[in-house]
C-alpha cells in the first residue's frame, strides 16, 4: 500500500532571498524576467542543484537542491529516499521557499514533472527490468493521483498539464531501441499501439541525451544520438495532439562530437535551435513545419571537457541567441542567419544568460568569476 503523509517543515533551505523567477531551463533558456538581477545555473546538469547568483556582485543568493524544474520555470521538485519512505518537496524557483512536502511509502526515483509543475511522476523498476511502477502525485494538493504497475521496461517522459496523459518510453530487448507509449490516466489504460509520426517506424533507435520542454506545455523536445548511424535527431513530442515527429539534424560525427549538441527554444515556442560547437553547426527548426529550415556553419570551438550540456540563452525578441560548448561563447543573429564569435571567457562555464533588458550577457565560470558581455557586439565589459 502506498501512503501519503503531509510534511510541513522537513526540508530546510538556508539563505533564501527574493527574486522574480527562473528562465526555463535554469541554465539560461530565455532572458531573465523583467526586473530580475539573478542568473540561475545548474552546473551538474538536469536533475542537479540549481544556484541563483546576483549578476552585480557575482555572489550566490540561494540554492535549490537536486531535482527537476517545471518547464514554466516556476516550480522545482525534489525527491529523497529515506528508510521511512520517499520525501517529495515542491519549492518556488523564485525564492527557494518550500510550498509543500509529502512522504510516499517505499523508495522512489523522481522521473518527471508536468510543464506547469502541478503533477509529478515517481518511478521504480524491478531488478530484472520486466516491470515498472509509477506513482503520479498531484503536488498542489499533496495527494496521490494514480498508481500504475506496468509490465516492461519504461521511462517516464512527462505528464500533461491536465494530468490526464502520461507519456512513456518503452525500452525493448536492445537497449538502443525504443517505442513511445501513451498511458491514458483518465481511463487507466495503456494505449495498445505505440505513438509514431506519419510515415515513421514505430520502433526507433538512439540514446536520449538532453531535452527541453515548452513553458506552455505544448512540446517536449528531446535530443537523441544514434551512434550506429553517427547522427543526431530531435524527438518532437506534441503533448496536445499526442503525436511525435523525428527531425534529423544535418551532418554526421563521432559519438563524442554529437554529445556537443544542445537545444534552445524560442520565446514564442515556434522555433528550436540545435547548436554544436564541436561540429561547427547550428540548425534552426520550425516546429510548425516540423523540419530544419536553416543551417549555419561556423568555425569549430573548444568544448568544455566534461561540462554538462547547457541550453543557450535567447533574447525576448527571439533575434539573438548565445550558446556555448562549455567555454567560449558564440552569438547567432536569427535575422541574418549568421554565427559570430567565439568570445573568450578564459575558463569552463557553469552557466550564462541574458541580463536585464537583454543588453548584456552574464556568464559564470566554474571558478566562481562572473563575466559580462555586450549582447550586441560580444565585447567583454571590464569591471
CA 343 to chain centre: 25
pLDDT band at 310 (very low <50, low <70, confident <90, very high): confident
Do 180 and 93 fall within a single domain?
no
What cell does 381 get? Answer: 565589459
Residue 13 pLDDT: 32
Question: Once rounded to an integer, what is the mean pLDDT over residues 274-294?
Answer: 95
Residue 321 pLDDT: 95
Q: Which of 189, 205, 221 marks a domain boundary?
A: 205
Q: How many structural domains does the chain have?
A: 2
Do 154 and 188 fall within a single domain?
yes
Residues 358, 289: Cα–Cα separation, whole Å: 28
Q: Which of 84, 103, 122 marks a domain boundary?
A: 103
Q: Is 300 helix (H, G, I), strand (E, B) or coil?
A: coil
Do 144 and 94 fall within a single domain?
no
pLDDT band at 308 (very low <50, low <70, confident <90, very high): low
15-40 burial code (b ≥16 CB/10 A, e <16): ebeebebbbbbbbbbbbbbeebbbbb
Q: Does residue 6 fall inside a structural domain?
A: yes
Beta bridge partners of 291: 286
Residue 125 pLDDT: 93
Q: Which of 68, 88, 103 marks a domain boundary?
A: 103
Residue 31 pLDDT: 38
pLDDT band at 335 (very low <50, low <70, confident <90, very high): very high
Residues 23, 55: Cα–Cα separation, whole Å: 14
Do 115 and 185 fall within a single domain?
yes
DSSP codes joined into one string, 22-33:
--SSTTTSBPPP
Whether 162 shows a pLDDT value over 90: the answer reads yes
Q: Does residue 131 fall inside a structural domain?
A: yes
Q: Which residue has the cell 517522459?
A: 157
Q: Does residue 211 fall inside a structural domain?
A: no
Please state whether beta strands 143-151 and 153-159 pair in parallel, antiparallel, or not at all (unpaired): unpaired
- Full domain range(s) for residue 141: 108-205
5-54: per-residue pLDDT in tens?
333 333 333 333 322 233 333 334 433 444 557 888 888 877 889 999 98
Q: Does residue 171 fall inside a structural domain?
A: yes
Question: Once rounded to an integer, what is the mean pLDDT over residues 262-267?
Answer: 92
Question: Once rounded to an integer, what is the mean pLDDT over residues 96-109?
Answer: 93
Residue 255 pLDDT: 85
Q: Does residue 341 fall inside a structural domain?
A: no
Residues 220, 181: Cα–Cα separation, whole Å: 14
Please state whether beta strands 98-104 and 4-7 pair in parallel, antiparallel, or not at all (unpaired): antiparallel
Amino acid at each position: 500500500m502506498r501512503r501519503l503523509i503531509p510534511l510541513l517543515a522537513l526540508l530546510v533551505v538556508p539563505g533564501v532571498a527574493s527574486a522574480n523567477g527562473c528562465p526555463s531551463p535554469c541554465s539560461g533558456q530565455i532572458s531573465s524576467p523583467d526586473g530580475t538581477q539573478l542568473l540561475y545555473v545548474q552546473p551538474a546538469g538536469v536533475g542537479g542543484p540549481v544556484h541563483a547568483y546576483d549578476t552585480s556582485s557575482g555572489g550566490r543568493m540561494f540554492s535549490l537542491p537536486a531535482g527537476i524544474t517545471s518547464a514554466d520555470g516556476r516550480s522545482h521538485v525534489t525527491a529523497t529516499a529515506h528508510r521511512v519512505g520517499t520525501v517529495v518537496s515542491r519549492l518556488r524557483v523564485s525564492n527557494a521557499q518550500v510550498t509543500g512536502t509529502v512522504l510516499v511509502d517505499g523508495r522512489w526515483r523522481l522521473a518527471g514533472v508536468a510543464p506547469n509543475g502541478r503533477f509529478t511522476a515517481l518511478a521504480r523498476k524491478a531488478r530484472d527490468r520486466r516491470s515498472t511502477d509509477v506513482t503520479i502525485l498531484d503536488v498542489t494538493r499533496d495527494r496521490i493521483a494514480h498508481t500504475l504497475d506496468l509490465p516492461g521496461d519504461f521511462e517516464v517522459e512527462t505528464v500533461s498539464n491536465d494530468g490526464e496523459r502520461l507519456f512513456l518510453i518503452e525500452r525493448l530487448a536492445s537497449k538502443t531501441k525504443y517505442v513511445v507509449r501513451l498511458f491514458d490516466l483518465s481511463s487507466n489504460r495503456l494505449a495498445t499501439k505505440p505513438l509514431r509520426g506519419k510515415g515513421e517506424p514505430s520502433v526507433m533507435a538512439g540514446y536520449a541525451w538532453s531535452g527541453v520542454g515548452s513553458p506552455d506545455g505544448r512540446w517536449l523536445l528531446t535530443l537523441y544520438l544514434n551512434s550506429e548511424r553517427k547522427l543526431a535527431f530531435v524527438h518532437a513530442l506534441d503533448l496536445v495532439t499526442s503525436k511525435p515527429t523525428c527531425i534529423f539534424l544535418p551532418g554526421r560525427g563521432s559519438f563524442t562530437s554529437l554529445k556537443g549538441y544542445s537545444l534552445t527554444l524560442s520565446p514564442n515556442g515556434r522555433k528550436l535551435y540545435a547548436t554544436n560547437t564541436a561540429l561547427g553547426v547550428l540548425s534552426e527548426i520550425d516546429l510548425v513545419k516540423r523540419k530544419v529550415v536553416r543551417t549555419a556553419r561556423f568555425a569549430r570551438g573548444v568544448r568544455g571537457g566534461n561540462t554538462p550540456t547547457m541550453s543557450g540563452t535567447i533574447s525576448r525578441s527571439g533575434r539573438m541567441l548565445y550558446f556555448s560548448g562549455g567555454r567560449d561563447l558564440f552569438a547567432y543573429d536569427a535575422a541574418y542567419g549568421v554565427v559570430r564569435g567565439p568570445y573568450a571567457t578564459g575558463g569552463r562555464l557553469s552557466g550564462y544568460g541574458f541580463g536585464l533588458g537583454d543588453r548584456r550577457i552574464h556568464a559564470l565560470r566554474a571558478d566562481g568569476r562572473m563575466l559580462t558581455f555586450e549582447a550586441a557586439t560580444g565585447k567583454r565589459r571590464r569591471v
